[in-house]
């Protein structure tokens, strides 16, 4: 049977939640990736180093319970105006070097986010982060019209890109084709790409019967956006790394309350391989999911390899109460 081995796959944007959900879903990522950047937007957000260290411990314990010992969670710190230089230095010493900035109200768990990104207090924090060699990941959306939010946020990236030339800034989950040129414009600006933004459009949400399972932030956009983002990923462009933004919500929260987030963790590697293979770009896959992240975030490659085989994977209708992306469909590859 045809097989394929991926070296040190990284998922640079992942929601693992906490408690029972964490324990249920951790295996989907921990078995298949060497490392993942864990988002801090828990119900009680990870706003301090102590909280991040304790959360990392819970993640590692959940891995251990599943018999997984070769997965490294990379922690991020939720940026609030209360972050101090002492706290940032402590973070850096403990290997926590990624700050996540949520504009207040932009998405799930952003209530503690930043009201005004260009506020002097925030700029002061970013100056310290720059001097410490940290990375700033941003959910780049305004509070304007839903389809234009990402582009409306561009001026903030322009100011930050110019003001902090040594700060590596990540434009998270790019969804609009117009953002690609912006990322290319500044040397210190990079981006993550999700699979759903490169394979789906707003049609999946609202083109037929309303489908809340494809509702996410930033919202899926046009076929033109989708195609442009896919081409960027397939080209192995050095400024773009893979970040799934897999974001589980229980079925009820999606269907009754309209929670935003797509749960893609169970299908990521098979779907990545299928996508790159069908577009004759398999030779660029490791660049996209391993080497680019390693360079952008200055992460050593792990020794962990993940093997896939060309055997159909039937995607379940539900995983622990969560409906995964492409539920019920069949993929060409499975993780061996």
Active site residues: 245
Which residue of 141, 150, 245, 286 would you call a contact of Zn ion, by CB under 5 A? 245
Determine the Cα–Cα distance for residues 61 and 269; give it in Å rounded to an integer.
24
**Between residues 243 and 270, which has the closer beta carbon with respect to ligand NCD?**
243
**Of residues 21 and 327, the one with the C-beta less far from ligand NCD:** 21
Mapping DSSP onto H, E and C, the string for 212-278 reads HHHCCCCCCCCHHHHHHHHHHHHHCCCCEEECCCECCCCHHHHHCCCCCCEECHHHHHHHHHHHHHH
If one asks whether residue 108 binds ligand NCD (CB under 6 A), the answer comes out as yes
C-alpha 170/C-alpha 270 separation (Å) is 26
How wide is the angle at C-alpha 81 spanned by C-alphas 79 and 86, nearest 5°? Answer: 80
Instruction: Determine if residue 17 is labeled as part of a ligand binding site.
Output: yes
Does 237 count as an annotated binding residue? no
> Pairing relation of β-strands 72-78 and 98-101?
parallel
Among residues 263, 255, 198, 249, the alpha carbon closest in space to that of 28 is found at 263
Interface segment toward Zn ion; rule CB under 5 A; list 140-148, 242-250, 268-276, 311-319? 242-250
Q: In terms of CB distance, is 107 or 179 closer to ligand NCD?
A: 107
Helix, strand, or coil (residue 288)? helix
Residue 190 belongs to what H/E stretch? strand 189-193
Q: Which residues, 245 to 264, sit near ligand NCD by CB under 6 A? A: 245, 247, 260-261
Kindly state whether residue 228 participates in binding ligand NCD, applying the rule CB under 6 A: no
- 16 in a known ligand binding site: yes
Q: How far is the CB of 141 from Zn ion (least distance, A)?
A: 11
- Is residue 126 within 8 Å of 160, Cβ to Cβ? yes
Binding residues among 123-182 for ligand NCD as defined by CB under 6 A:
139
* Nearest residue (CB) to Zn ion, 176 versus 245: 245
Per-residue x/- mask for ligand NCD, residues 39 to 68, rule CB under 6 A?
Answer: --x---------------------------
Contact between 217 and ligand NCD (CB under 6 A)? yes
With 0-12 / 13-18 / 19 or more C-beta atoms within 10 angstroms meaning exposed / middle / buried, residue 76 is buried
Which stretches of the chain bind ligand NCD, using CB under 6 A?
15, 41, 107-109, 139, 216-217, 245, 247, 260-261
Which spans of this chain sit near Zn ion (rule: CB under 5 A)? 245
């Amino acid at each position: 049977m045809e097989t394929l081995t991926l070296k040190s796959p990284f998922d640079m944007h992942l929601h693992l939640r906490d408690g029972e959900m964490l324990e249920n879903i951790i295996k989907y990522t921990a078995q298949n990736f060497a490392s993942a950047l864990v988002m801090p937007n828990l119900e009680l957000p990870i706003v301090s180093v102590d909280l991040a260290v304790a959360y990392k411990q819970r993640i590692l314990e959940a891995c251990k319970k599943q018999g997984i010992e070769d997965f490294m969670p990379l922690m991020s710190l939720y940026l609030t105006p209360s972050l101090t230089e002492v706290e940032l230095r402590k973070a850096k010493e403990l290997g926590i070097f990624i700050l996540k900035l949520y504009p207040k109200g932009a998405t799930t768990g952003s209530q503690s986010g930043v009201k005004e990104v260009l506020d002097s207090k925030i700029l002061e924090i970013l100056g310290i982060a720059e001097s410490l060699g940290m990375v700033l990941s941003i959910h780049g959306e305004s509070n304007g019209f839903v389809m234009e939010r990402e582009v409306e946020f561009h001026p903030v990236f322009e100011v930050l890109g110019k003001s902090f030339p040594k700060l590596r800034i990540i434009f998270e989950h790019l969804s609009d084709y117009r953002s690609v040129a912006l990322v290319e414009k500044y040397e210190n600006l990079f981006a993550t790409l999700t699979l759903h933004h490169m394979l789906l459009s707003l049609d999946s949400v609202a083109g037929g019967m309303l489908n809340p399972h494809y509702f996410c932030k930033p919202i899926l956009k046009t076929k033109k956006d989708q195609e442009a983002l896919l081409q960027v990923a397939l080209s192995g462009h050095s400024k773009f790394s893979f970040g799934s933004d897999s974001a589980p919500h229980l079925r009820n929260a999606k269907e009754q309350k309209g929670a935003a987030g797509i749960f893609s963790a169970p299908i990521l590697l098979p779907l990545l391989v299928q996508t790159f293979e069908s577009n004759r770009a398999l030779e660029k896959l490791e660049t996209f999911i391993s080497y680019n992240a390693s360079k952008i975030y200055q992460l050593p490659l792990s020794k962990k390899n993940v093997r896939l085989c060309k055997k159909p994977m039937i995607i379940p209708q539900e995983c622990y109460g969560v409906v995964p992306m492409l539920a019920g469909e069949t993929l060409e590859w499975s993780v061996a």
